[in-house]
């Protein structure tokens, strides 16, 4: 296999060098022809006495110097490595600069000849030679583009001349947009025929890019679509924020046309493959607000050169915590989880990316206190990120005692062992479902938060909890479920037409959690800025459209009714909790009502007894005695 790949690489290299050699020979021949035509025209009907002083005797040397200089300038300005078939501004600029530099060198050469050997070379002769050379050499480089442009003009007159082409609106009149248009014109086989450009910059509107007019802003898309009978959109903007992309998508989505996005490109070499990599918009790019910038100093305080332990390290949040902790320069990482398959695959990933001496995998559960004592005692972590938890709402509704054993007393085990072993910081990963919980999972996480609040005020270990909403792409989350249902042809099932949720990407959530680690002190509850909540129905419609289908036509959306323990919308804080800002604009700290530690611990002891006795009904009652919930009261009332 390796031998075959090596032979393929060698063959490609040979073809490339052969192509370069042929181009050099063509440029040399064109330069000879250009010089011959220039001197013939310049000296036409001039006798020898009228020619420049000393030129005739040195003509061959002068011509050779001019030709060699032209070829050398092509090499210096990288005119032999470009894919001229896809040439754009960068390639044209290099080509132009090579001739400007060529003229400068020949002009200096002219002066030297005159001073040293009293030989005169006329400047018009040099300019005429360079003009002819540029025309000839440029023709072989830009010929393909010129031909394709005339085909494009022909299609504008008769759109039946090239069947299969999609009449395309290009969104973005910047550099990437111009390269995209150039690519589409030069490659009709790609199937995109640009008919209009859209850009919100009023200074660009009314102007043309390769003959295609910038007809207006995003808000004018409906008129532009109608005017040109558009069949596709291509977003070609080099740096685009989530809010910009969402605005563009909302303007394009009602037409149920394909929407593609182009990667950032800077030259013709990248343009060669850009259309192949034209991609669909990812749902993650449409949800949530624009990402906050990382404050490196906060991450350094939390994890750089620290021994870090992550419980639940094989889960969606935990595994991303592990990746970023390693990337941000921890001294050593302890990955603690009971999920064998998850640990195996995580290790398979990490051995390819990191030195294995930088991390240790430990199989175990937070419910085993002795195991925690062994692990924390051996590795002595500086900070623990506690992500181990049962998280699926329906499963915890039928497993109340397990939810409490793991999410509450597992958390308490880690807190107590960590504090006794001298761990400096502890950060609990919480959830918006902990606020006014309507389900057992959310209530168990709220009790875990209360452990942080009560223990953080009196212990030596600095503690905090971080509360945030749904993360995109986590195991069992709504988006993979919807995508699977779309793949099967539908229907998409959702519990209510008006149910809303917060969303954030896993990487950004974890970056904010790491930065929050710097703030952990005395049992604070930090809340991440999740942006605006999203209607799940709208999310389902977006996913259907992004798969090239029409909601409620190609894919049915079926409402099934709320599941046990499910709320119409989630909250990030209680009404009684005030919010303060922190040193990071994406992280807020809640000002909490004080908790009676003695009363709380008494109820906690009773909860432990009920859970470990497998008294499901008693456990459930005690959960909502500790964490009263208006939603749970409504759910359990005879009227509800």
pLDDT score, position 331: 94
pLDDT score, position 234: 93
List 235's β-bridge partners, or say none. 171, 261
In the predicted structure, residue 267 carries a pLDDT above the cut 50: no
Name the pLDDT band for 268 (thresholds 50, 70, 90). very low
- Looking up tokens 């073809």 gives 15
In the predicted structure, residue 459 carries a pLDDT above the cut 90: no
Alpha carbon 583 to its chain centroid, in Å, reads 25
Q: pLDDT, tens digit, for every residue of 151-187? A: 555 555 455 545 568 899 999 998 888 888 878 877 7
CB atoms within 10 A of CB 92: 17
In the predicted structure, residue 467 carries a pLDDT above the cut 90: no
Q: pLDDT, tens digit, for every residue of 189-236? A: 778 889 999 999 998 998 888 888 999 999 999 999 999 999 999 999
Sign of the CA dihedral running 472, 478, 481, 486: negative
Out of 291-300, 399-408, 530-539, 573-582, the most confident range is: 399-408
Cα-based torsion angle of the residue sequence 225, 226, 230, 235 in order, rounded to the nearest 10 degrees: 0
pLDDT score, position 88: 60
Alpha carbon 1 to its chain centroid, in Å, reads 34
Q: Given this structure, which CATH class describes domain 302-472+503-530+571-634?
A: alpha beta
| 26's tokens | 């063509």
**Over residues 483-497, mean pLDDT:** 89
Q: How many residues make up the chain in this entry? A: 640
What distances in angstroms separate CA 380 from CA 264, 318, 519, one per listed residue?
45, 19, 21
Name the pLDDT band for 83 (thresholds 50, 70, 90). low
What distances in angstroms separate CA 295 from CA 385, 388, 424, 435, 585, one per listed residue?
19, 26, 21, 28, 10
pLDDT score, position 556: 92
Name the pLDDT band for 617 (thresholds 50, 70, 90). very high
In the predicted structure, residue 81 carries a pLDDT above the cut 80: no
In the predicted structure, residue 415 carries a pLDDT above the cut 80: yes
CB atoms within 10 A of CB 25: 10
| Percent of all residues in the chain with a pLDDT value above 70, rounded to a whole number | 86
Cα–Cα distance measured from residue 500 to residue 485, given in angstroms and rounded to the nearest whole number: 20
Contact 196, 215 (CB under 8 A): yes
**Over residues 630-637, mean pLDDT:** 55
In the predicted structure, residue 535 carries a pLDDT above the cut 60: yes
Q: Residue 13: left (phi > 0), alpha (psi -120 to 50), or beta?
A: alpha
- Looking up tokens 């050699």 gives 21
In the predicted structure, residue 528 carries a pLDDT above the cut 60: yes
Please report which helix (H) or strand (E) contains residue 604, including its range: helix 597-612
Q: Name the CATH superfamily housing domain 162-281.
A: NAD(P)-binding Rossmann-like Domain (3.40.50.720)
Domain boundaries, the chain: 15-153, 162-281, 302-472+503-530+571-634
- Range name among 145-149, 182-186, 488-492, 515-519 with the lowest pLDDT average: 145-149
Q: Using the CB atoms, write b or e for 397-417: b if 16+ within 10 Å.
A: bebbbbbbbbbbbbbbbbbbb
| Contacts of residue 544, Cβ cutoff 8 Å, sequence gap at least 6 | 486, 492, 550, 551, 554, 555, 557
Cα-based torsion angle of the residue sequence 531, 533, 535, 541 in order, rounded to the nearest 10 degrees: 20
- Range name among 55-64, 220-229, 247-256 with the lowest pLDDT average: 55-64
Please report which helix (H) or strand (E) contains residue 631, including its range: helix 630-636
In the predicted structure, residue 145 carries a pLDDT above the cut 80: no
In the predicted structure, residue 129 carries a pLDDT above the cut 70: yes
Contact 377, 371 (CB under 8 A): no
In the predicted structure, residue 599 carries a pLDDT above the cut 60: yes
């Amino acid at each position: 296999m390796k031998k075959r790949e090596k032979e393929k690489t060698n063959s490609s290299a040979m073809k490339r060098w052969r192509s370069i050699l042929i181009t050099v020979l063509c440029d040399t021949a064109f330069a000879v022809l250009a010089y011959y035509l220039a001197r013939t025209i310049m000296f036409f009907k001039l006798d020898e006495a009228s020619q420049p002083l000393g030129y005739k005797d040195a003509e061959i040397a002068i011509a050779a110097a001019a030709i060699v200089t032209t070829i050398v300038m092509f090499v210096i300005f990288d005119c032999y490595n470009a894919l001229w078939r896809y040439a754009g501004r960068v390639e044209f600029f290099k080509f132009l600069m090579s001739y400007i530099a060529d003229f400068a060198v020949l002009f200096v050469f002219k002066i030297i000849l005159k001073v040293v050997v009293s030989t005169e070379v006329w400047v018009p002769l040099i300019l005429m030679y360079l003009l002819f050379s540029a025309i000839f050499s440029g023709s072989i480089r830009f010929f393909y583009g010129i031909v394709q442009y005339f085909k494009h003009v022909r299609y504008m007159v008769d759109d039946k001349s090239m069947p299969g082409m999609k009449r395309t609106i290009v969104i973005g009149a910047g550099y990437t947009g111009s390269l995209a248009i150039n690519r589409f014109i030069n490659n009709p086989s790609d199937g995109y025929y640009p008919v209009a450009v859209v850009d919100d910059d009023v200074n660009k509107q009314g102007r043309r890019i390769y003959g295609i007019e910038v007809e207006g802003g995003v808000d004018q898309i409906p008129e532009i679509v109608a005017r040109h009978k558009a069949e596709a959109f291509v977003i070609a903007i080099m740096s685009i924020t989530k809010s910009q992309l969402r605005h563009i998508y909302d303007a394009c989505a009602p037409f149920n046309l394909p929407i593609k996005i182009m990667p950032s490109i800077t030259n013709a070499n990248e343009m060669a493959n850009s259309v192949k990599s034209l991609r669909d918009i990812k749902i993650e790019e449409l949800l949530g607000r624009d990402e906050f910038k990382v404050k490196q100093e906060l991450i350094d305080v939390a994890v750089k050169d620290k021994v870090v332990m992550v419980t639940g390290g094989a889960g969606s949040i935990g595994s991303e915590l592990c990746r970023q902790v390693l990337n941000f320069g921890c001294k050593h990482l302890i990955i603690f989880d009971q999920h064998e398959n998850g640990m195996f695959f995580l290790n398979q990933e990490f051995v390819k990316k990191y030195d294995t001496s930088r991390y240790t995998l430990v199989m175990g559960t937070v419910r085993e206190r002795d195991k925690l004592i062994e692990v924390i005692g051996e590795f002595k972590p500086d900070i623990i990120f506690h992500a181990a938890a049962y998280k699926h709402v329906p499963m915890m509704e039928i497993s109340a005692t397990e939810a409490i054993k793991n999410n509450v007393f597992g958390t308490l085990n880690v807190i107590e062992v960590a504090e006794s072993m001298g761990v400096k910081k502890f950060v609990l990963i919480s959830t918006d479902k902990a606020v006014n919980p309507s389900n057992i999972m959310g209530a168990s996480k709220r009790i875990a938060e209360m452990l942080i609040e009560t223990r953080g005020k009196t212990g030596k270990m600095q503690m905090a909890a971080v509360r945030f909403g749904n993360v995109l792409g986590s195991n069992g989350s709504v988006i993979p479920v919807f995508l699977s249902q779309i793949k099967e042809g539908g229907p998409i099932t959702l519990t209510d037409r008006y149910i809303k949720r917060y969303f954030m990407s896993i990487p950004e959530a974890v970056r904010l959690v790491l930065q929050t680690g710097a703030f952990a002190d005395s049992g604070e509850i930090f809340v991440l800025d999740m942006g605006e909540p999203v209607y799940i129905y709208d999310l389902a419609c977006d996913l259907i459209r992004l798969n090239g289908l029409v909601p409620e036509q190609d894919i049915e959306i079926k409402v099934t009714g709320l599941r046990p323990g499910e709320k119409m919308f989630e909250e990030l804080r209680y009404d009684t909790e005030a919010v303060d800002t922190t040193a990071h604009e994406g992280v807020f700290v809640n000002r909490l009502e004080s908790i009676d530690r003695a009363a709380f611990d008494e109820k906690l002891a009773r909860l432990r007894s009920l859970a470990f006795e497998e008294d499901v009904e008693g456990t459930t009652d005690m959960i909502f005695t500790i964490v009263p919930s208006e939603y749970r009261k409504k759910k359990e009332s005879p009227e509800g």
